[in-house]
Amino acid sequence: MTDNCSLITDNEHFWLKNAHVPACILENISIKPQTREKLCHVDLEINQGKIVSIISHSSELTNHPYIDLKKGIIFPCFIDSHTHLDKGHIWERSPNISGTFEDALATVRKDAQKNWRREDVYRRMEFGLECSYAQGTIAIRTHLDSFGEQGKMSFDVFDQLKNRWQEKLNLQAVSLVSLDYLLSREGEKLADLVADYGQILGGVAYINPQLDQELERVFTLAKERNLDLDFHADETLDPDSICLKKIAETAIRQEFENKITCGHCCSLSQQDPKLRQETIKVVKEAKINIIALPMCNLYLQDRQANYTPKMRGVTDVYGLKQEGIPVAFASDNCRDPFYGFGDHDGLEVLKESVRICHLDTPYDDWVSSINKVPAQLMNLPNLGKIGVGLNADLIIFKARYFSELFSRPQSDRKVMRKGKLIDTTLPDYSKLDDLGVRSSEFGVRSSEARY
């Protein structure tokens, strides 16, 4: 017996023994949880990159090598269902000094006009992928600013990265424009572009006099091209912002059958109980998935100079979940004017969501919000869970219980892909040092990036 992971996983057939796995992410396995946090004490048998059996932990020896995890927790690999890789890692050259949402918009716009050439976007997006992969992410959905020529260039860069990383990461992209853009001929061309790349049609919904017309149009464009939809909705603490409700009502009216996802939805938590319940009812009927983004929204919202914030800026995750509406958590922006921090780490997303949204005591099945739930909304049925016959795509922590897991960075985690340990060394920030210098020699200049 040995506890040297690299030595064991050099074998095709081995066991991970004495592990804790959250019951909510075990697929078709009837094992009773042993802790108040609903952790199951199990042994996993792995052969040729797949999980071939999961049993209650036994001290009996096996005929194959094994690793004693000493009750360390195992997760399936993370799924980050709402990111902005094209904006990432521009903080040093374009900081948002005020920290406000309005200045984030303006600062990104200026940076895009000056710097967003092909190589600049490619290198920053790939840096984000390298961080994500090293920390245990297996699938990412990114929104891409898509006004004018920026859309064609960014989708092309995305497609190159998608092909290059296809053995390591499942990548999806969503167009990001204000919905009024989709009323134009250019908006129709954008919908065609999204369809050509086989991706998701999206946009930002704002309360305005023509919102109903905008929503009718985006749903029609999606139906004509058989596209899923993904909206930024109600990213505000204004209780009069009811875009989520209007999106749901439009989906029901149009009998839309493809997937719909709405991110942010912050105003829901500020609305009176009657309106909130009406919204949740139609969201459930429309089968809309919700993505909460607590880190970015906590950073931006209720922010004023020399003022102590009073609100957390997140949606009503408990109210939604209690009605059976799927709720995922995701990282959103990373080291850009919308969020000056972050490292593309699914564990950080879960940890901060637990703290910001009070997901502990009890933890229930909230851990599935960064793996199993986003896998479903991204149409990835074989990811985000641990089960017999699935690939051994796992994250192994020394932490034995959630309190231990959320109290330290877990930088010593092991990441396993198809039964083999990967290199978890994070890329050095110096890789980005010359961006804005070399990038001027490449690609298309953006003149219309507005979000």
* Whether residue 87 has pLDDT greater than 50: yes
* Whether residue 438 has pLDDT greater than 60: no
**Which residue type is seen at 199?**
Q
Q: Rounded to an integer, what distance in angstroms lies between the CA atom of residue 11 and that of residue 299?
A: 46
pLDDT tens column, 357-410: 999 989 999 999 999 999 999 999 999 999 999 999 999 999 999 999 999 999
Q: What per-residue confidence (pLDDT) applies to 7? A: 57
* Whether residue 420 has pLDDT greater than 90: yes
Q: What per-residue confidence (pLDDT) applies to 444? A: 36
235 catalytic? Reply is yes
Q: Rounded to an integer, what distance in angstroms lies between the CA atom of residue 41 and that of residue 353?
A: 25
Interval 268-273 mean pLDDT: 97
Which of 140, 113, 66 has its CA nearest to residue 334? 140
* Whether residue 450 has pLDDT greater than 80: no
Q: What per-residue confidence (pLDDT) applies to 440? A: 35
Give domain 78-377's CATH number out of 1.25.40.320, 3.20.20.140, 1.10.10.10, 3.90.850.10. Answer: 3.20.20.140
- Burial class for 196, CB neighbours closer than 10 Å (0-12, 13-18, 19+): exposed
* Whether residue 6 has pLDDT greater than 70: no
* Whether residue 1 has pLDDT greater than 90: no
Q: What per-residue confidence (pLDDT) applies to 96? A: 97
* Whether residue 441 has pLDDT greater than 50: no
Residue 217: pLDDT band with limits 50, 70, 90: very high
Q: Are 234 and 268 in contact (CB under 8 A)?
A: yes
Which of 26, 139, 107, 74 has its CA nearest to residue 337? 107
* Whether residue 437 has pLDDT greater than 60: no
pLDDT tens column, 104-151: 999 999 999 999 999 999 999 999 999 999 999 999 999 999 999 999
* Whether residue 3 has pLDDT greater than 60: no
Which of 450, 451, 406, 442 has its CA nearest to residue 115? 442
Q: Is 5-76+386-421 in CATH node 3.30.70.1290? A: no
Q: Are 448 and 180 in contact (CB under 8 A)?
A: no
Rounded to two decimals, what is the model's pTM? 0.94
Q: Which helix (H) or strand (E) holds 116?
A: none
pLDDT tens column, 277-332: 999 999 999 999 999 999 999 999 999 999 999 999 999 999 999 999 999 999 99
DSSP string, 287-330: TEEEEE-HHHHHHHTT--TT----------HHHHHHTT--EEE-
Interval 261-290 mean pLDDT: 98
Which of 108, 98, 100 has its CA nearest to residue 302? 100
Q: Rounded to an integer, what distance in angstroms lies between the CA atom of residue 365 and that of residue 359?
A: 9
* Whether residue 446 has pLDDT greater than 80: no
CA 90 to chain CA mean position, Å: 20
Which long-range contacts does 432-438 make (Cβ < 8 Å, 24+ apart)?
A: 432/89, 432/123, 432/124, 432/127, 435/93, 435/115, 435/120, 435/123, 435/124, 436/93, 436/114, 436/115, 436/120, 438/119
Q: Rounded to an integer, what distance in angstroms lies between the CA atom of residue 2 and that of residue 5?
A: 8
Interval 2-17 mean pLDDT: 74
Q: What per-residue confidence (pLDDT) applies to 434? A: 75
Q: Which residue has the tokens 């149409």?
A: 379
Which residues contact residue 224 at a Cβ distance below 8 angstroms, ignoring those fewer than 6 apart? 191
Which residues contact residue 276 at a Cβ distance below 8 angstroms, ignoring those fewer than 6 apart? 268, 269, 316, 319
CATH 3.20.20.140 residue ranges in the chain? 78-377
Q: What per-residue confidence (pLDDT) applies to 184? A: 96
Residue 2: pLDDT band with limits 50, 70, 90: very low
What integer best gives the mean pLDDT of the chain? 94
Residue 138 Cα distances to 134, 175, 223, 251, angstroms: 10, 21, 29, 30
* Whether residue 451 has pLDDT greater than 90: no
| Lowest mean pLDDT, pick from 89-98, 125-134, 239-248, 441-450 | 441-450
Q: Rounded to an integer, what distance in angstroms lies between the CA atom of residue 368 and that of residue 15?
A: 24
* Whether residue 445 has pLDDT greater than 50: no
C-alpha dihedral over 341, 346, 349, 355, to 10 degrees?
Answer: -130
CATH 2.30.40.10 residue ranges in the chain? 5-76+386-421
Q: How many CB atoms lie within 10 A of CB 430?
A: 7
Backbone dihedral angles phi then psi of residue 243, each to the nearest 5 degrees? -60, -40
Catalytic residue among 130, 235, 348, 352: 235
pLDDT tens column, 24-56: 999 999 899 989 999 999 999 999 999 999 999
